[in-house]
Structure 1
Amino acid sequence: MTTGSGVKPMDKEAEETEPLSDNVTDDRTDLYGFERPDDFESYKDMMDSYATVLNRRSQRWSKLLLEKPHVEKNVTVKRFVRKGVPNEHRARIWMAASGAREKQESNNGYYQSLLEAEHDTTLKETIYTDMHRTFPDNILFKTKAESCLQKALFNVLVAYGHHNKAVGYCQGMNFIAGYLILITKDEEKSFWLLDALLGRILPDYYSPAMLGLRTDQAVLGELVRAKAPAVGQLMDQYPGIWMLVVSRWFICLYIDILPIETVLRIWDCLFYEGSKVLFRVALTLIVHHQSEILRARSLSDVCECFKQITHGEFTLDCHTFMQKIFTEPGSLSKATIDKLREKCRQVIEEGSHRP
């Protein structure tokens, strides 16, 4: 858990909920306010071709939700989610699929009560230190922006820190909460979605010991040994390598690792199907780029290669990439993941108890 000191917390005004305005972007930003000076043309070309897919999906989702307003978990909805949830329906689908809507409805007024409670000074200071580090390339999070989202972000993180005192605030949570606010445009929904992610979908990722995160890194290593043995042998030469190359992939749920449209498509599946999708994404990146990874001749080569494989046309084309994650790694059952998690967690816990 991070600590901070000597920083004035946000004033009381920051703790009052306000309706969040629609995104306002200029001609060098994407739909979510992120500035794209380096790859704007590539992004624009991709979005121009992707617009047809988005329009088709939007029409089909609108028809489905008109026929069945209550989002169910079934084969049809799962197929729809994997093909992408249109932005206008994302908050609704995420809330329903993750259980966040049910939690919000059964805890009416709870979020506001957290904001109105007396807040731990250290928690507020710690969160405040990360405010200026959260999406500095997004015009909606800049303090001079007309509709700055920093207040909403601060509120969500402070509320969650008091809601889940075992976690409090850890670095990385600011980026996740920020993405949720960009999509939902609603503080309370963002709070309950954050609770769904950290409390149920990704347990122990953000606890002080980060046992869940460490376990899943080890699980990925086991999966790579099974599905890309040559890469597995290479990685085994460098103890602790998985923590170096994929910890940010998992802790930030691919934020700032993959292009935003791709991340949001991953999150569609994450909220609906659970954390298994994180492994599918990682395996796809690794399996698809085996030849590049196997050319590495040193630890620094491996680390640089894992940075490079997340960039380029393969990950920018979110629709094709999402089709790949459900085919390229092959079968990957929840039972397999659960079994590997149990095995890896036991090894980690035994190792931590050794003198």
Structure 2
Amino acid sequence: MDRYEGVLNRRSMRWSKLLQEKPHVKKDWTVKRFVRKGVPSELRAKVWMSTSGAQERLDSKPGYYRSLLDMQHDPRLTETIHLDVHRTFPDNVFFQSQAEPGLLKALHNVLLAYGHHNTDVGYCQGMNFIAGYIIIITKEEEKAFWLMDALLGKILPDYYSPAMVGLRTDQEVLKELVKTKAPAVGQLMDQYPGIWSVVVSRWFICLYVDILPIETVLRIWDCLFYEGSKVLFRVALTLIRHNQPEILRARSLQDVCQCFKQITCGVFTLDCHTFMQKIFAEPGSLSMATIDKLRDKCRQGIQEDESRRL
């Protein structure tokens, strides 16, 4: 932590200088490089809002968020959210109801508004943890709502739809990427049909929340809002490639599952600065065009499987 404090201080000074020269955060190579090296906590809300397009959406629809809260609410949606809100980060001081009741109310409002904004999704388990993280950073309901919209509507389409086609597709995409980036692991995993959905579904649906250390997750999200969903694959591939010897020692399905739990813990993931450097080096080249091509192939495979079952 002593070493990382120095990194944070240097990043903060460099961001301050950058924003003096460019008050409005716009996507360019300099900002991309700065985002990859870490966004200071006091600037995260501003940078996430700008780079994701959420600020533009908020500005174009003044009063829209409040109108969603003022409308007649679906009682089933309200009840489901109410039950999950109190299960969100039970050990986190920000979400202990006695300490900060306002945050729980804000979380409830954001999820309720999003459920009415995107009726195809409504509310899905896992969304509470994502909204909770965003609220801690933004400290504003309306900004948190529009960041949720950017994530679920643009960056991760179909992750949280009833059939979760996007999530299932990306699990298959990771499987294909592992075959080329870590072929020995790919061969091992092929012995266990359906194993990828067992070991990595929470990685994707929770965007590594409660999987990796909090500061590491925030650094990943800095890049996720700027560069899009390919960052999620870079993280997964880095975890797998870095821990390849341990994974290959697995001799059973239970061993594989246990190993995938362990590889998200320890010094490698806790040292977030080094970890973030690794995710842009360890997997090698990985373009959005490659991801999109694999998504088309895997989505078609899923649809064909479903058609055969019918």
TM-score w.r.t. length of structure 1 = 0.86
1:267 aligns with 2:214: no
1:73 aligns with 2:27: yes
Summarize the alignment of residues 14-93 of structure 1 with structure 2, pairs less than 5 Å apart: 46=1, 48-93=2-47
2-structure distance, mates of 1:313, 1:177:
27
Q: Give the letter aligned to residue 196 of structure 2.
A: W
- Matched with 1:195 is 149
2-structure distance, mates of 1:195, 1:115:
15
Contact 1:213 1:251 in 2 (8 A): yes
Q: Give the letter aligned to residue 166 of structure 1.
A: D
- Matched with 2:291 is 337
Select the residue among 200, 205, 208 that pairs with 1:254: 208
1:94 aligns with 2:48: yes
1-structure distance, mates of 2:64, 2:91:
33
2-structure distance, mates of 1:94, 1:147:
25
Q: Give the letter aligned to residue 290 of structure 2.
A: T
Contact 1:217 1:247 in 2 (8 A): yes
Q: Output one character per residue of 1:66-120: Cα deviation in whole Å (capped at 9) or x when no partner.
A: 1111111111000000000000110000000000000000000000111111111
Report deviation, 1:276.
0.2
1-structure distance, mates of 2:290, 2:66:
41
Aligned-partner SS, 1:339 = helix
Q: Give the letter aligned to residue 185 of structure 2.
A: V
1-structure distance, mates of 2:136, 2:4:
20
Summarize the alignment of residues 118-267 of structure 1 with structure 2, pairs less than 5 Å apart: 118-267=72-221
Q: Give the letter aligned to residue 306 of structure 1.
A: F
1:296 aligns with 2:253: no
- Matched with 1:317 is 271
2-structure distance, mates of 1:268, 1:228:
26
Q: Output one character per residue of 1:7-56: Cα deviation in whole Å (capped at 9) or x when no partner.
A: xxxxxxxxxxxxxxxxxxxxxxxxxxxxxxxxxxxxxxx2x221100000
Q: Give the letter aligned to residue 137 of structure 1.
A: D
- Matched with 1:107 is 61
Contact 1:98 1:196 in 2 (8 A): yes
- Matched with 1:117 is 71
Q: Give the letter aligned to residue 35 of structure 2.
A: V
Q: Give the letter aligned to residue 70 of structure 1.
A: H
* Sequence identity percentage: 77
Contact 1:140 1:148 in 2 (8 A): no
Q: Give the letter aligned to residue 257 of structure 1.
A: I
May I ask how many residue pairs the two structures share in their alignment?
309
1-structure distance, mates of 2:108, 2:7:
35
Q: Give the letter aligned to residue 186 of structure 1.
A: E
Aligned-partner SS, 2:149 = helix
Structure 2 unaligned regions, length at least 5:
none
1-structure distance, mates of 2:228, 2:222:
10
Q: Which has the higher helix share?
A: 2
TM-score w.r.t. length of structure 2 = 0.99
Contact 1:84 1:265 in 2 (8 A): yes
Q: Give the letter aligned to residue 326 of structure 1.
A: F
Runs of 4+ in 1 over 4 A off after TM superposition: none
Q: Output one character per residue of 1:280-327: Cα deviation in whole Å (capped at 9) or x when no partner.
A: 000000000000000000000000000000000000000000000000
Report deviation, 1:146.
4.2
Contact 1:142 1:148 in 2 (8 A): no
- Matched with 1:8 is none
1-structure distance, mates of 2:235, 2:94:
28
Contact 1:123 1:168 in 2 (8 A): yes
1-structure distance, mates of 2:215, 2:73:
35
Report deviation, 1:228.
0.6
1-structure distance, mates of 2:175, 2:157:
19
2-structure distance, mates of 1:159, 1:259:
29
